[in-house]
Structure 1
């Protein structure tokens, strides 16, 4: 997911030697108990996670070891998953499982014939335990390759309860009500929204939520696949809606200039830091981790969220991201690797990380009681209740040259639009030109 470009530290040793001291890897682990059906086998799992995320995922690996007797080794790829995994395959030292953070990367792996389709057992679990949309995002040309284990909810607006109380407003139900509440916050003496315009990926998330609600899921899918152009009237309408927010100096802390010099962590700090400079910040459920870990906020008490509200009479959007587990054909432990994915498809596996915190599962069979706090529980419930209306982050579905590269493509063009939102049609034309080039390539 895009947030990792800022929040996750890349490992310095990208050679990813698969020894116990490999970059991002802890010691090879096993545990007692279980049926020991995979005793003596070892699987290597590669993924972008580091820090607390890696530590919590290790608990899942340890639980799998306890159940099966298999040993596990995690190695951190940093953000360059495709490049690192490709080099490992070429060097004859491929990991067995990769946790893939983008739909586009999963599709790329499948097109290169790197992946093993999921077993019948795993597919049955996906059919039983997940909304159909997650199977669609894990499939390429009708074959299921990816199991979505960890998800993000990117349709959450975070706020300081004190700021809303001081302004005399409550969490809104519609986009217009949100702007009205923001103006009330501003009138009370605190700028409304901290916008992380220095990071273009946050601006794509703003656009995607507005577009999904305003244009609807069918149009969203068409634009994500580039089967309609970015000059489509629905895009111009969404940009016009977004531009009204960007142009309103009463709503954006520091105005356009201030937003363009604010990165994602800085936007959270402006709301939840020791000296608040804004009342609200839009981004995904991972805002809570920054507010809690960096600024000591109590989630649900002095840091809360409301769902991104419905726009112009549409449905409230639920934009998501996620990490899909895939099995590489060139891995050395095919049986154990597939067994691991079968395990990840169960609510039992999801509960391990849910209890540890910092995690959302798309597995609808997971008991919500497994989550450690009411706020995370509420976020997870919203994701599950959205069912097949969930849509994966659009820019993460696009070629990286358009949807995932700093200083170019959609990121840069939306930053330019934040700087001057006066001509949505011209911005749509520039977006289409960049998209056409990237999708062709």
Structure 2
């Protein structure tokens, strides 16, 4: 199974410890990694047990997810046993299947894993009632992402936007920048204005290659549009396509300026993503802007003294083409065993109530279009959630998560390494496109 690089990068950045046990229970653990969550009450599932596996753990995500499962237990009377999977969700669940003990419900953090599990028969199609809630509350793009070969398997419960650029408000004020940029041309001008004011414009944690794939995906989606994005993600068009070269040329407008990057390209390539956050928001900032996903807000709060909304803010990734991109990822609930408890939990996960419980706690974005934005605890999260919902069917899943690991998810190889080389020397657009195509062709065989 491929490494779950999105999850690993996020959890490492947030400083979450993936322990063998999860100390969030209101009852005693039932052995091993399993944790009871919520007491049994009255309801249709009284006396029944539902087993759940997901990546979320700790006092941040794990404790918040516990409240969702608690609500389900109180609503149905079910006893819920939750098992944290660790970073490599696919490998963990594969071992459970091979051992004859898969959970009733699992949450998968990659669309490619959902498809793989569907092909192997490890997950069951959604029951009718869950599918009805899904169709009522989710845009078609989310229904499609949870489907394979004409059947719907997953409900995307939690999502994230990778189309946000975080900035230090004081740096913009000092440079006389009144409004954040909305177009790529304005973004380049903003970078130059910051540089002219004596500030380094951008920090990039390029030692983590996935950071650069996020840049490319945002620019490419905006330049080429959703249909081309879909074709490229499946390697139905080549990486030597003119749209790919145009995206690379746009990136070179930023990456090609030594003084635009904290530490220059060499310094950026030696900085992992967690280290790039204090470069912008730490006590001794070295840059003014940080392109990164919505979860950067949590790191700003926990790792620096800056306050989101006061010292730090974000603007949507600027439009390099006709429209601004919205690229992200998500965690899909799937049914691994067809039990009454699994059916009820999947139906519950698709409801607005289930989304609201976590949304009110913060650190969460739901693709559920029926959720009132007022459920989010602050204006920053409401703006990010609105961008995801407003994107509708133009939202696109992280392309590198859709690709074979050899191309889109391997350290020191494939797209990660080629884009790192391009950051170091963005002068050869044609040569870089050719290298991407060769790597993709090898991986998609």
Aligned to 1:157: 165
Is 1:4 matched with 2:7?
A: yes
More displaced, 413-422 or 58-67?
A: 413-422
Aligned to 2:25: none
SS in 2 for 1:362: coil
2:361 pairs with one of 356, 362, 366: 356
Is 1:438 matched with 2:429?
A: no
Q: Mark the runs of 5 or more structure 2 residues left unpaired by the alignment.
A: 22-27
Q: Is the 1:404–1:411 contact (alpha carbons within 8 Å) kept by the matching residues of 2?
A: yes
**TM-score normalized by structure 2?**
0.93
Aligned to 1:167: 175
Is 1:326 matched with 2:334?
A: yes
Tell me the CA shift for residue 191 of structure 1.
Answer: 0.5
Q: Mark the runs of 5 or more structure 1 residues left unpaired by the alignment.
A: none
Counterpart mapping for 1:258-297 below 5 A: 258-297=267-306
Tell me the CA shift for residue 366 of structure 1.
Answer: 0.5
SS in 1 for 2:411: coil
2:433 pairs with one of 428, 435, 438: 428
Residues 203 and 84 of structure 1, relative CA distance in 2, 3 Å threshold: same
Aligned to 1:228: 237
Aligned to 2:375: 370
Per-residue deviation, residues 16-68 of structure 1 (Å, max 9, x unmatched): xx963544x5x3122466x5111111122111222211111111111111111
In structure 1, distance between residues paired with 2:307 and 2:401:
31
Per-residue deviation, residues 259-283 of structure 1 (Å, max 9, x unmatched): 1011111111111111111000001
Aligned to 2:81: 73
Tell me the CA shift for residue 150 of structure 1.
Answer: 0.2
Q: Is the 2:40–2:79 contact (alpha carbons within 8 Å) kept by the matching residues of 1?
A: no
Is 1:408 matched with 2:413?
A: yes
Aligned to 1:37: 44
SS in 1 for 2:377: coil
Per-residue deviation, residues 413-441 of structure 1 (Å, max 9, x unmatched): 1111111211111111111111112111x
Structure 1 runs of 4+ off > 4 angstroms?
none
Residues 389 and 178 of structure 1, relative CA distance in 2, 3 Å threshold: same
Tell me the CA shift for residue 13 of structure 1.
Answer: 4.6
| CA RMSD across the alignment | 1.7
**TM-score normalized by structure 1?**
0.94
2:347 pairs with one of 342, 362, 366: 342
SS in 2 for 1:115: coil
SS in 2 for 1:190: coil
Residues 274 and 20 of structure 1, relative CA distance in 2, 3 Å threshold: farther
Is 1:204 matched with 2:204?
A: no
